């Protein structure tokens, strides 16, 4: 099955191009960004060697859905989504931190906790918690945004002391982050899911702080199935989840955690199909909509045509 590994367009009034881990980003003049969600997949901050069919469409369409569903909570960058793999929006000056918010002791938070530490990004964690337990209240555990390599945990105090974000702006980022997580939790609950943790990126458009990038997707979030959650916790069973964690777990089982000298394991066609199916399942569970697979026979031409049509009217 074909997948969209990347794009190389020359768009009208294009001023720059940036290839991210999973997205191709085109600057149009000084005011507009075109973000193409490819089918590349990353884990442990490493782009894996094979792309996942329909993953980009899943990410972009969930993000567009969630940006629209949270626009009354926080202003965001989206102007249009003219193609299933594309969002066009305001070109913002990004803050150099990612706002990670966690409602449960899972993933990186659990790995930190189980190592014996009781503090994460300057936030104290209570004693006596088990993996996947709900935290007393959501916590914000920011990371630096690395252009290459690994993002690094950082505390609120360090961010302000180092001048990465002003105290005034950081207070707004915290308020927006918690408000978005609350709305995301409500949306997930209606679909029988728990929004376990997620991350948000913000920037400034003029003097206004706005939400950027994708939100509440499987690349930026982790979901549990709500049904049976407490019973599984009480019995010490593994939680049933929809996220990219299953890819990380597979990589760990194959001896890869993104560390120097480690080699990414081979990915079979069957494994790619399984990952694709999991992404599609998450789309349908999170949005409540049926996923419609787009024609991939000439996907690059389709995307470029739809971008050009949208730019003509913006």
d(CA 34, CA 157): 34
Backbone angles phi, psi at 38, to 5 degrees: -80, 180
d(CA 105, CA 133): 5
Q: Supply the pTM of this predicted model.
A: 0.90
- CA diameter of the chain: 59
Domains of the chain listed by start with CATH number = 1-94+165-314 (3.30.200.20)
The pair of structure tokens assigned to 12 is 């009208």
Backbone angles phi, psi at 83, to 5 degrees: -145, 150
From first to last of the 314 residues of the chain, give the pLDDT tens digit: 789 999 999 999 999 999 998 999 999 999 999 999 999 999 988 999 999 999 999 999 999 999 999 999 999 999 999 999 999 999 999 999 999 999 999 999 999 999 999 999 999 999 999 999 999 999 999 999 865 556 799 999 999 999 999 999 999 999 999 999 999 999 999 999 999 999 999 999 999 999 998 999 888 899 999 999 999 999 999 998 887 878 988 999 999 998 989 999 999 999 999 999 989 988 999 999 999 999 888 999 999 999 999 999 98
In three-state secondary structure terms, 126 is coil
């Amino acid at each position: 099955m074909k997948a969209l590994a990347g794009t190389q367009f020359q768009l009208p009034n294009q001023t720059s191009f940036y290839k991210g881990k999973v997205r191709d980003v085109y600057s149009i003049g000084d005011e507009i960004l075109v973000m193409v969600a490819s089918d590349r997949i990353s884990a442990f901050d490493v782009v894996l060697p094979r792309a996942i069919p329909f993953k980009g469409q899943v990410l972009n369409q969930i993000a567009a859905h969630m940006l629209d569903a949270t626009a009354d909570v926080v202003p965001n960058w989206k102007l249009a989504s003219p193609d299933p793999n594309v969002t066009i929006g305001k070109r913002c000056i990004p803050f150099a931190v990612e706002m990670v918010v966690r409602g449960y002791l899972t993933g990186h938070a659990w790995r930190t906790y189980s190592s014996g530490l009781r503090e994460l990004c300057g936030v104290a964690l209570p004693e006596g918690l088990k993996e996947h337990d709900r935290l007393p209240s959501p916590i914000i555990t920011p990371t630096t945004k690395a252009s290459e390599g690994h993002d690094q945990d950082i505390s609120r105090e360090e961010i302000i002391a180092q001048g990465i974000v002003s105290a005034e702006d950081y207070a707004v980022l915290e308020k927006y982050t918690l408000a978005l997580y609350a709305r995301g939790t409500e949306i997930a609950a209606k679909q029988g899911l728990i929004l376990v943790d997620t991350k948000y990126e913000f920037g400034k458009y003029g003097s206004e702080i706005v939400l950027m990038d994708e939100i509440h997707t499987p690349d930026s979030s982790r979901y549990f199935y709500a049904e049976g959650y407490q019973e599984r916790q009480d019995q010490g069973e593994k939680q049933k989840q929809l996220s990219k964690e299953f890819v990380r777990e597979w990589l760990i089982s194959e001896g890869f955690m993104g560390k120097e000298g480690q080699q990414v394991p081979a990915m079979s066609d069957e494994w790619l199909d399984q990952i694709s199916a999991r992404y599609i399942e998450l789309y349908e569970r999170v949005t409540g909509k049926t996923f419609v697979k787009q024609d991939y026979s000439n996907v690059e031409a389709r995307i470029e045509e739809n971008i050009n049509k949208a730019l003509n009217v913006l």
